Structure 1
């Protein structure tokens, strides 16, 4: 870190921004509150600063704007800032905590994403939300039909097969307004299917145009969603020192408890992006359960460890492979064996 740079901690909000810094020349502690419309103008007239902000809504936008002015910006996870908050929680104390955390060498900063990468993540979030809504609607419809003796098998495909006949049978016993409402709910589920398909088509269009997505899509278990989400979440792969660090960010490495020189490994940490971790694990599960040739490493692992443990281990390996291909700009090679760095 360049000591000549002024370090500024910023607690951002919708309309009010709290700043905290120490003047490098006089040692004066400054706590300043700015309105949204004058926030960028304040930094446009300042020398280059090291700016720290929490990863929250709008942080990526402001990071890009400040970086274009020549400032160095670091986005810090909220859990890394929280230990430095002293006293009652308020904007002034939060800005001071960010100012302290951004200067700690052990605190890892998140990569600043481009607008294109954020746009892809927005598509993924909207698709994920629609899938949740669709699942809730299907469960609600199945529960209502069960109340009248029409038990539908689990799964959307099974519900599709029996819903028409089930509603036809119920129409002979129930009022028409109830049947019409049930049919409206089923039509709503169909519209959600169409919206989800439309979003997936747009995601696929971006995948075809992005070389990084095409390269990591060659990895077994990495499909359309995982490839595009991984590229968008990683941002700049150089933000991670190694594939293991990226796997730890996703939450696919064991938690550790150590004391007295003894370390005990627990379950996976489940830190980082829940959505991306789910995609990796589902992809690994598909490889081990459906692929006829998952590879010698995965085959031997399944022989000596429980299936779910093998799934998470393969997901960890997939995450490391994704980082390696992106960080070193390489193509996937089946059966590739990494070599230690010489010298």
Structure 2
């Protein structure tokens, strides 16, 4: 017997549920309070529950899976195609109910540990953003008084003591004290970022998957921990090519009438992970003594940035292969199709 399809539009306090009763054919589309959401599914037969992969979705998916239900998380853009006319909770739940019954790539449900590591990455990213904003704010404010400093953090630290002494003769003391406090705040942000990175290193020592992909050239601490956490279950992707496409490292396609045009990378997926992979590829290209014959041949016929993105694509596919097949990285490994597949047996 097939599972009943249920569309759930989650929110902060009130969830909207849409399904069709198999016995009576009644269309049910009603709100449920957050506190009674799990209770609604506790005594029901196994259901195929669809939800958008948004804030809180992974938590509710884990709870529903424990009850024996099947949960399918879907990208919001996939669900949007099924929302006709009005945009409200009832229409969204119906769109999710329609989308969950269609064949499509589901988002892997992440574990709490994986989400915890992603939380560290997001907090580190936010602190770096705050630090950059504060540095630019200091440089901009001092420029108003004719004090122009170089862009780097090291140049700021070298120049700002003398700059503050010069402007102290012309500005009120309250302003100078505030500028000194803002400059001192950069050190506190540095300490917070360093503390998060130390916690990531400690987690790296305990996680076998992170240790395995850290052996891949171009994959450092940040890329390894982010890739494992964002991927979820590596077997949710059928191939390394699919994972690279999910990360947005493949060409965007447009075409009609049988003619397909390839453009720049699609930039789909998570921007943060894609940025880490591209920076890792750039590091390999610039600092590796032996980048490999494949890279050396491509450099001769393609622009440098194209080679970097192509190498990032290859790194992403290697990450998937190591995790999906549960084996260590081998530098000169060549993938060979099984004889049965070649012969069609």
TM-score band w.r.t. shorter chain: over 0.9
Q: Look up the SS of the partner of 2:261 in the other structure.
A: strand
Contact 1:9-1:21 within 8 A present in 2 as well: yes
Contact 1:4-1:24 within 8 A present in 2 as well: no
Match of 1:149 in 2: 146
**Alignment partners' CA distance in 2, 1:221 and 1:207:** 16
**Alignment partners' CA distance in 2, 1:330 and 1:137:** 44
Shift of 1:245: 0.8
**Alignment partners' CA distance in 1, 2:161 and 2:292:** 44
Q: Determine whether 1:83 maps to 2:81.
A: yes
Moved more, 29-38 or 211-220: 29-38
TM-score by length of structure 1 reads: 0.97
Structure 1, gaps ≥5 residues long:
none
Figure out how many residues of one structure are paired with residues of the other and give that number: 340
**Alignment partners' CA distance in 2, 1:227 and 1:158:** 31
Shift of 1:159: 1.3
Match of 1:41 in 2: 39
Shift of 1:145: 1.7
Q: Look up the SS of the partner of 1:84 in the other structure.
A: coil
Residues 316-343 of structure 1 show CA distances to partners (whole Å, capped at 9, x for unaligned) of 1100000010000010111211112331
Shift of 1:173: 3.1
Match of 1:24 among 22, 25, 49: 22
Residues 273-295 of structure 1 show CA distances to partners (whole Å, capped at 9, x for unaligned) of 11101110111111112222222
Structure 2, gaps ≥5 residues long:
341-345
Q: What's the RMSD between the two structures over aligned residues?
A: 1.1
Shift of 1:22: 1.4
Match of 2:171 in 1: 174
TM-score by length of structure 2 reads: 0.96
Q: How does 1:179-328 map to 2 (within 5 A)?
A: 179-328=176-325
Shift of 1:255: 0.6
Contact 1:246-1:323 within 8 A present in 2 as well: yes
Q: How does 1:97-136 map to 2 (within 5 A)?
A: 97-105=95-103, 107-136=104-133
**Alignment partners' CA distance in 2, 1:29 and 1:279:** 46
Q: How does 1:327-342 map to 2 (within 5 A)?
A: 327-342=324-339
**Alignment partners' CA distance in 2, 1:322 and 1:342:** 25
**Alignment partners' CA distance in 2, 1:46 and 1:197:** 48
Moved more, 263-272 or 289-298: 289-298
Residues 15-73 of structure 1 show CA distances to partners (whole Å, capped at 9, x for unaligned) of 11111111223322211211011110110010110000001111010000000000000
**Alignment partners' CA distance in 2, 1:233 and 1:269:** 18
Contact 1:255-1:266 within 8 A present in 2 as well: yes
